[in-house]
Amino acid sequence: MDKAGVISFIKKRKIIIAPIIAIIVFLTIRAVLLQKPASDINYTVQKENLVDTVQVSGTYTTASQVQVDSPANGIISKLYVANGSTVKKGDPLFYIESTATADQQKAAFATYMAANAQAQTDNATLFSLQSSMYSAWKKYTDLATNSTYENSDGTPNTLNRTLPEFTTAQDNWYSAEALYKNQQNIIAKDEAALSSAKQSYDETQSVTVTSPAGGTVTNLLASTGDQVYASTATSPSPVLVIANLKNPYITATISEDYAARVVTGQKASIVFDSLPNQTFQGMVERVDTVGTDTNGIITYGARVDAFNLPPNIKPNMTAVITIETLRINNVLDVPNSAVILKDGINYVEEAYSHKLIPVTLGTKGTAKTVITNGLAYGTVIVANPNQ
């Protein structure tokens, strides 16, 4: 066969083979699409403990903690406490020796005294304006309630109240009231200036800092001779923390999906991120009734008491809390998916005969349901019947 004949033979073969391949591909795809689903999943009925849990995150928290800042710029020349010291409110904590010069102290004091004098002057003006306002109000009220400007039934005589005598008294009262309110704003500014001047003056003074509350001294890193600076709202500078380390607990945040299942008294297992191989026990003490809306997401706060925590668990450590929301011991139960509701009656399907067995349901958990009657121990049922 010459070359042209061979090419012609191959082309004819392709014409015949191509439809055959297309048919095979079609039948293969059809078989895949029409294949029967996987066989039923069977479940052997047995007695066990029905337990439901939810997991939430939380933070270990002390009953209270107060930061103690430095009120002055200076050197810590004396420390009266150490970490772990127990103190009462008013006990001395440390002494700061001011590093301000004499001129700085005098300038700060002069500014403070000037701010104080201005506040007193403006307060005197406020009292005077208050008196004028009350006098204007009394004149206006007396005029408004006489027979010329008020009807016998107590309603305003709107026609006569357009007379100059009445409108002048009314305008005088409005004017006096506006001056008084404006002076109140001036007083507010004076108080802010006085507070700032007082703080600046205090920053130049040597001072003994005392405890603002009772508790245990923690987070004291400074030593005698260390420089400290006065704290501000934008730049806090705590020297130590007074914490109430008694009755520690964990604050947890519960999502809206779980909130209805978590109640006071439920057991909890706690695993801290810093100690992943240890589990501690606890109990739900309180749960919020009203949720918190954060950008449309509702959450509920909870307090979980932790039992017998070791000293190496420190405040503000995070943990995963597993809360036991349901426990029923030694019961027959089946997967929720195994229950078939038909004509108002609950059934399960026997695995081998596919016979429907009527059953009486008990408590339903998130994954399983208790069977109180109708089903024998050891029965094999279909866990995923085609209902």
CATH number of the domain within which 284 lies: 2.40.30.170
d(C-alpha 85, C-alpha 96), whole Å: 19
Same domain, 199 and 286: no
Same domain, 354 and 219: no
* Angle at the Cα of 313 from the Cα atoms of 246 and 68, rounded to 5 degrees: 60
Contact 112, 203 (CB under 8 A): no
Does residue 163 lie within any of the structural domains?
Answer: yes
d(C-alpha 187, C-alpha 115), whole Å: 11
Same domain, 238 and 92: yes
Q: What's the pLDDT at 6?
A: 44
SS3 53: strand
Does residue 301 lie within any of the structural domains?
Answer: yes
Same domain, 217 and 96: yes
Does residue 28 lie within any of the structural domains?
Answer: yes
Higher per-residue pLDDT: 35 or 28 = 28
Domain that holds residue 2: 1-35
- 292: amino acid identity, one letter: T
Same domain, 236 and 247: no
Residue 9 predicted with pLDDT over 60:
no
Same domain, 225 and 257: no
Same domain, 168 and 209: yes
Q: Considering 328, 356, 374, which residue would you say is the last residue of a domain?
A: 328
Q: Considering 328, 344, 362, which residue would you say is the last residue of a domain?
A: 328
Same domain, 81 and 227: yes
Does residue 387 lie within any of the structural domains?
Answer: no
Residue 354 predicted with pLDDT over 50:
yes
Alpha carbon separation from 288 to 65, 244, 306 (Å, rounded)? 22, 23, 18
Same domain, 345 and 367: yes
Does residue 198 lie within any of the structural domains?
Answer: yes
Contact 350, 379 (CB under 8 A): yes
Same domain, 78 and 162: yes
Q: What's the pLDDT at 35?
A: 46
Same domain, 215 and 321: no
How many domains does the chain fold into? Answer: 4
Q: Quick one: 368 exposed, middle or buried, by C-beta within 10 A (0-12, 13-18, 19+)? A: buried
Range with the poorest average pLDDT among 30-39, 44-53, 71-80, 360-369: 30-39
> How many Cα atoms within 13 Å fall on the side-chain side of residue 180?
17
Q: Considering 217, 242, 267, which residue would you say is the last residue of a domain?
A: 242
Query: Alpha helices of 203-265 — where are they, by DSSP H?
Result: 256-259
Structure tokens at 174: 């409005």
Express each pLDDT in 119-137 by its tens digit. Answer: 999 999 999 999 999 999 9
Average pLDDT of span 38-61 = 88
Range with the poorest average pLDDT among 16-20, 220-224, 349-353, 382-386: 16-20
Same domain, 221 and 333: no
Does residue 290 lie within any of the structural domains?
Answer: yes
Token pair 């005294």 is found at 113
Contact 59, 250 (CB under 8 A): yes
Contact 209, 65 (CB under 8 A): no
